Structure 1
Amino acid sequence: MIFKKGELFNGPGGFAWAAKHAKVEANGEVYSIEHAWSNDYDVSACETYKHNICPDKPDTVYHGDVRELDINSLSDIDAFIYGFPCNDFSVVGEKKGFDGEFGPLYTYGIKVLKRFQPKWFIAENVGGLQSANEGRAFARILRDMVDAGYKVTPHLYNFANYGVPQSRQRILIVGFRNDLNVQFRVPAPTHGPGLPFPFKTAYEAITDPPIPEGALNHDMPKHTKKVIEFLESIPPGQNAWYEGIPEHLRLNVKGARMSQIYRRLDTVSPSYTVTGSGGGGTHMYHWEEPRALTNRERARLQTFPDSFEFKGPKDKVRQQVGMAVPPNGAKVIIEAVLKTYAGVPYDHIAPKWDIDELLNQTTILV
């Protein structure tokens, strides 16, 4: 069975790459996913998506504001994925939730669910979503998904527990249409202490195998002499506030000290979260060489294959890499979705939240 997939806020295609390569064989049948259409407002992300996901169907990637997208003109789908913008739900920033510019954009995914009634969907957002608007935003979003006709399973995933060489926590909401009478179960973590496999480290991700010369998106960054000297005084795993930094090099910063500022990777653990920012010492920094990571190294931490080419200028590539869903982590979730539909059992754990308790105990926004 082939599920035809629609996608909003497609980004560079982390989820789409995972969907393109996910397959489950059961009951004498192969369950897989095929791209039907997608949308994003960022032109560079759209070009990246076209190039890597659907080079034979570039016209099916609609560039533009989702608020101006004619949903009724899109082709029928039976699977839907959307990582609605997280700016207003992030723990970094003002956390405006529904009161911000981006908070209400999740409703366009609800419109797709109501219009096409796909068999299943996956929605993705940052962990900060659970506390936005004192938790009411999360409950409102879940309520709208349930009212659209879906049995939903929300969970807070750390992709490091699924073999991604990066500590990255994201809320994923998986929904199956009510009439299918199936219940999605959260796949059991596989990597970490006491689990079948150890965490994959940032060192392994970047060095094994070595990134070849001339690799795509692998331009080396340039730094001033002072920045190089500054980085040389910071050990692996430490940041700009390391006490051993010489006095004349220390940053004069008042107020909050963010831990990722000039933070160098550790060789024995997953990396910290890859983000789309880059100013003020947030590029992510090599554990040994006194420099920021290249975009290809950051893409390795996000588990994009070296053959995946990001389009656009360097800052746009950095943004795309940081905002993407790690393909290898997404593939675990998508394969669990396919197994659920096919009736194939797999190891699972209890979700972080009981959906009925969430909806019953939380005041819903109106």
Structure 2
Amino acid sequence: MIFKKGEFFNGPGGIALGAKMAKVTDKYGVEYRIEHEWANDIDEAASQTFIHNICPDRPESVIAQDVRELEISKKRLSEIDAFTFGFPCNDYSLVGEKKGLSGDYGPLYTYGVKVLKEFRPKWFIAENVSGLTSANEGQAFSLIMKDLIEAGYKITPHLYRFQEYGIPQTRHRIIIVGIRNDLNLEFKVPATTHGVGKLPYKTAEHALTIPPIDPNALNHELTKHTSKVIDFLNHIPPGQNAWYEGIPEELRLNVKGAKMSQIYRRLQADQPAYTVTGSGGGGTHIYHWEDPRALTNRERARLQTFPDDYVFFGGKEKVRQQIGMAVPPEGAKIIIEAVLKTFAGIEYDYVDSKWNAQQFLVDKEFELV
């Protein structure tokens, strides 16, 4: 059984690669899998990356355009059975102003809702940062859930801690899985596999060294640090950051106010990496536990579980942005395989979500501005 998938805000293709890898076979020998149908993203470089790695034979199926200007209709877009959208997180991130629905990006989820109403896919997956639950004092999250339910779907939102699924990174994301009401199926959150009493977490050292990265790999350019930055990093032990007390006074940063913990923070070899981000100035590039340097984009891609032959297009910072904004493909694969198992009638270990979807149907006085 093949599900044809549409996607909005596709980025470099983290969810799409996970979907491409996901396959299950039921007891009758029927294979359940997903095929790319169409995708949309405003970013030209990300769209190039997506085309090259996901659908090189169908470049016309990726529309590089502002979703607000895209005609969401069956005249413009072909029929689909599945839909995914990692709607922009800028206004929901825990780092920043957290404008939520009142920001420029917050309302963009509504274009995904339009797809659900127009195309009625059998299932969807929506993704955003954990800060979504606190934006607009929690009202944004409730409104988004309510809109998805009222589009005709039984939803299962859950905060996934990806390190607990074998991803070598402490990345926490809200993933909402919805299955169309008339199908009478219920998605269950796949059980975690790594952590206390389970498989050991995958470490940063394991991710970056097994197997070693080819020095000539694409997107593997080293950052040129000044001698002062190198000296500064040499005084920071693994796991510590720019505020480590052992840094000599003459090298310390002169910063007033909030001191972000991830500034010049070095990885710990025996622990998962901290969250890979897509933007930020000096000191936010993730730093090696041993070598006094920032990680390369290829190393960041490893922490995000992209294979080494996955080519990213654009300049160095544009590639960094794509990698940091993506859903880890291996994490997406786990969730999507659980969706396929739900449709195939295959049982799997699961955990309960902390949210009861019915709680979002309570009328809330909140206006989208």
Same fold (TM over 0.5): yes
How high is the TM-score relative to the length of structure 1?
0.98
Q: Does 1:194 align with 2:179?
A: no
Structure-2 separation of matches of 1:168 and 1:365: 31
Q: CA deviation at 1:311?
A: 0.6
Structure-2 separation of matches of 1:109 and 1:282: 31
Structure-2 separation of matches of 1:248 and 1:277: 28
**Amino acid corresponding to residue 150 of structure 1 in structure 2:** Y
Whether the aligned pair in 2 keeps the contact of 1:137 and 1:365 (CA below 8 Å) is no
Which residue pairs with 1:69 in the alignment? Answer: 70
Structure-1 separation of matches of 2:280 and 2:232: 17
Identity rate of aligned residues, in percent? 67
Q: CA deviation at 1:343?
A: 1.0
Which residue pairs with 1:133 in the alignment? Answer: 136
SS in 2 for 1:49: helix
Q: CA deviation at 1:28?
A: 2.0
Match of 2:171 among 163, 168, 172: 168
Which residue pairs with 1:9 in the alignment? Answer: 9
Structure 2 alignment gaps of length 5 or more:
none
1:179-218 mapped onto 2 (5 Å cutoff): 179-195=182-198, 197-218=199-220
**Amino acid corresponding to residue 70 of structure 2 in structure 1:** L
Distance 1:313 1:328, change over 3 A: same
Q: CA deviation at 1:29?
A: 0.4
Which residue pairs with 1:41 in the alignment? Answer: 42
Match of 2:95 among 92, 95, 120: 92
SS in 2 for 1:3: strand
Which residue pairs with 2:81 in the alignment? Answer: 78
SS in 2 for 1:235: coil
Which residue pairs with 2:294 in the alignment? Answer: 292
Whether the aligned pair in 1 keeps the contact of 2:8 and 2:87 (CA below 8 Å) is yes
Structure-2 separation of matches of 1:89 and 1:294: 27
Q: Does 1:250 align with 2:252?
A: yes
Whether the aligned pair in 1 keeps the contact of 2:146 and 2:360 (CA below 8 Å) is no
Which residue pairs with 2:282 in the alignment? Answer: 280
Q: Which runs of structure 1 show a deviation greater than 2 angstroms over 4 or more consecutive aligned residues?
A: 357-366
Q: What are the superposed Cα offsets for residues 258-293 of structure 1, whole Å, 9 maximum, x if unpaired?
A: 000000000111000000014121011001101000
Q: What are the superposed Cα offsets for residues 98-149 of structure 1, whole Å, 9 maximum, x if unpaired?
A: 1100010000000000000000000000000011111111111111111111
**Amino acid corresponding to residue 232 of structure 1 in structure 2:** N
Structure-1 separation of matches of 2:90 and 2:160: 19
Structure 1 alignment gaps of length 5 or more:
none
SS in 1 for 2:47: helix
SS in 2 for 1:157: strand
Which residue pairs with 1:335 in the alignment? Answer: 337
Structure-1 separation of matches of 2:250 and 2:36: 55
How high is the TM-score relative to the length of structure 2?
0.97
Structure-1 separation of matches of 2:212 and 2:363: 51
Q: What are the superposed Cα offsets for residues 171-210 of structure 1, whole Å, 9 maximum, x if unpaired?
A: 0000000000000000000011112x11000110001111
Structure-2 separation of matches of 1:281 and 1:233: 14
Match of 2:159 among 152, 156, 159: 156
SS in 2 for 1:333: helix
Q: CA deviation at 1:357?
A: 2.4
Structure-1 separation of matches of 2:123 and 2:223: 42
Q: CA deviation at 1:359?
A: 3.3
Which residue pairs with 2:23 in the alignment? Answer: 23
SS in 1 for 2:46: helix
Whether the aligned pair in 2 keeps the contact of 1:155 and 1:173 (CA below 8 Å) is yes
Q: What are the superposed Cα offsets for residues 12-39 of structure 1, whole Å, 9 maximum, x if unpaired?
A: 0000001011100003200000000000
Whether the aligned pair in 1 keeps the contact of 2:82 and 2:122 (CA below 8 Å) is yes
Q: Does 1:124 align with 2:138?
A: no
SS in 1 for 2:263: coil
Structure-1 separation of matches of 2:59 and 2:160: 32
SS in 1 for 2:35: strand
Whether the aligned pair in 2 keeps the contact of 1:166 and 1:302 (CA below 8 Å) is yes
CA RMSD of aligned residues (A): 1.0
